[in-house]
Amino acid sequence: MSAVMITRKVTRKWEKLPGKNTFCCDGRVMMGRQKGVFYLTLFLIVGTCSLFFAFECPYLAVHLSPAIPVFAVLLFVFVMAMLLRTSFSDPGVLPRALPEEANFIEMEIEAANGNVMAGQRPPPRIKNVQINNQIVKLKYCYTCKIFRPPRASHCSICDNCVDRFDHHCPWVGNCVGKRNYRYFYLFTLSLSLLTIYIFAFNIVHVVLRSVDSGFVNTIKETPGTVLEVLVCFFTLWSVVGLTGFHTYLISLNQTTNEDIKGSWSGKNRVQNPYSHKSIIKNCCEVLCSPTYPSVLDRRGVMLEDLSSPTPSDASAASTHQSSNPVSQTTKSSAPLIPNEHTPDEAKPGIGSGTQKSTSSPKEEKPPSPTSPNAVAPAVIKESSH
């Protein structure tokens, strides 16, 4: 009998996950594929804070208070922690349906819709659920083959369905969803405070130096301060405005995706079923609710069976094939499909049979065993190794 070596390859589940996300540190870090703007965010934050620590903090610690650089360091560390936590975490990606699950859902949809006449458009694939005495539609995702949960949406950039999808933020290089929204909000809030803090003490630094050496000389002596003021001035409005917008959304328990689509403020004037009608309760639910675990199991182990014949078995099979060329010729001439019709050239005609029967005995010579055109017997015995 033939011997087969079965080897098992251990792989992590994140290596087989569909979508356009990138993974690092053996699946512990999960980001979007487009990370160029994220590196720009890191450069602006680290660069601006480095200039502040190098030029302003020594002077302000001596002339005003040593607590100024200490508080700036703490605020900088918190901003970086929230940025990395938002960028490197799973935003709430929903796993795609397995082939068996997708076939079952297709059967359910076909049974519910019935027979659709040819040329007619099939009905939309939606399900209705009731949340707080209000009907909410669950849409079917043709990419993930699932009915998306309430407030979930498919991100076209990451190519995944994200639970409580807010938006895809290129500045953090990741989607913002159910599992990292609070860290995104804390990042924007702390970044706004850090920008205001650096901008204000840059002005104080320029004013204190201008008293002694004049404004023009101060600008010439501290070019880093001028650069920090320009960067903070142009980024202050966008960061503070973004923080204010998300504060408004949190007070209503609403997402950016729902606000853009007008889900709860359109022509129908449908009320938000997720709002608690209280700003404090809405803020507590978004910012203080427990963190949900990831449903992807990125670092789970998968075992793949890789079968390969032994070297002795492979050499024996090759020796058998070389010593029995007749069986190879016969197998190649047999049809691949049992019901397959043979070509017209291979079919025995009536004339050929007549000629064979009327031929002289001299022409009827049995084929020699060594002849290459010898016909193999009808039954072929396969030898087992």
Residues with catalytic roles: 169
Write out the DSSP string of 360-381: -TTT--PPPTT-TTPPPPSS-P
Q: Which residues contact 40 (CB under 8 A, 6 or more apart)?
A: 171
- Let me know how long the chain is: 385
Given a contact cutoff of 8 angstroms between Cβ atoms, the answer to whether 299 and 27 are in contact is: yes
Given a contact cutoff of 8 angstroms between Cβ atoms, the answer to whether 273 and 136 are in contact is: yes
Angle (nearest 5°) at CA 184 between 40 and 88: 65
Given a contact cutoff of 8 angstroms between Cβ atoms, the answer to whether 139 and 126 are in contact is: yes
Round the CA-based radius of gyration of the chain to a whole number and report it.
Answer: 36
Q: Which residues contact 383 (CB under 8 A, 6 or more apart)?
A: 320
Q: Pairing relation of β-strands 146-147 and 135-141?
A: antiparallel
Angle (nearest 5°) at CA 58 between 53 and 64: 115
- Give which of 178, 184, 179 is closest to 165, Cα–Cα: 178
Given a contact cutoff of 8 angstroms between Cβ atoms, the answer to whether 205 and 192 are in contact is: no
3-state secondary structure 134-155: CEEEEEEECCCCEECCCCCEEE
